């Protein structure tokens, strides 16, 4: 009986991250998943990782720009784990990002959906 109950619990547990899409931004252009063409499910657990300095805002309206006052500053390859609120439009919940690059280059911010709190 104990073995069957243990196996049932193991079958219900899951973890991991699934790549959803990438926001490519430069020093003057904000992007969000609505503009980039990918959806984030409502109430999803997400992870965001950018290739260089970038401000990131999670759960904002798709017209919102991430700035030093509205966003979280991520350093190069820093991982932000968070969640998004209930969907607020046709693309679900939104993640917005704007690069903080001073050399005029581009920043790619990868967005992943998590299945658990690893």
Per-residue pLDDT tens for 31-86? 777 777 888 887 888 899 999 888 888 876 666 667 777 788 888 999 999 888 77
pTM of the full structure: 0.75
How high is the pLDDT of residue 43? Answer: 81
User: The sheet that has 95-99: what strands, in order across it?
Assistant: 30-32, 95-99, 54-58, 72-74
117: CB partners within 8 A, 6+ apart: 45
Q: Is 62 within the bounds of a domain?
A: yes
Q: In whole numbers, what is the pLDDT of the chain averaged over residues?
A: 74
How high is the pLDDT of residue 4? Answer: 54
Residue range 98-113: mean pLDDT, rounded: 73
Nearest to 15 by CA among 59, 81, 76: 81
How high is the pLDDT of residue 55? Answer: 83
Task: For tokens 């992007």, name the residue.
Answer: 31
Q: How far is CA 46 from the centre of its chain?
A: 5
Q: Is 100 within the bounds of a domain?
A: yes
Q: Is 44 within the bounds of a domain?
A: yes
Q: Is 2 within the bounds of a domain?
A: no
Q: Is 52 within the bounds of a domain?
A: yes
Tokens representing 22 are: 């990438």
Q: Is 3 within the bounds of a domain?
A: no
**3-class DSSP state of 34:** helix
Q: Is 84 within the bounds of a domain?
A: yes
How high is the pLDDT of residue 112? Answer: 92
Number of domains present in the structure of the chain: 1
Specify the CATH number for the domain of residue 94.
2.60.120.20
CB count within 10 Å of CB 56 equals 26
Rounded CA separation 8/19 (Å): 28
Domain containing 78 equals: 15-114
Tokens representing 49 are: 């990782």
How high is the pLDDT of residue 77? Answer: 93
Q: Is 42 within the bounds of a domain?
A: yes
């Amino acid at each position: 009986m104990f073995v069957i109950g243990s196996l049932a619990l193991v079958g219900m547990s899951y973890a991991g991250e699934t790549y959803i899409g990438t926001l490519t931004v430069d020093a003057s252009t904000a992007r969000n998943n609505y503009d980039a063409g990918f959806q984030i499910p409502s109430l999803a657990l997400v992870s965001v990782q950018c290739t260089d300095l970038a401000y990131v805002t999670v759960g904002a309206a798709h017209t919102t720009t991430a700035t030093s006052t509205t966003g979280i500053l991520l350093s190069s390859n820093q991982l932000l784990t968070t969640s998004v609120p209930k969907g607020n439009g046709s693309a679900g919940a939104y993640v917005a990002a704007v690069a903080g690059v001073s050399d005029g280059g581009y920043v790619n911010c990868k967005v992943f959906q998590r299945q658990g709190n690893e």
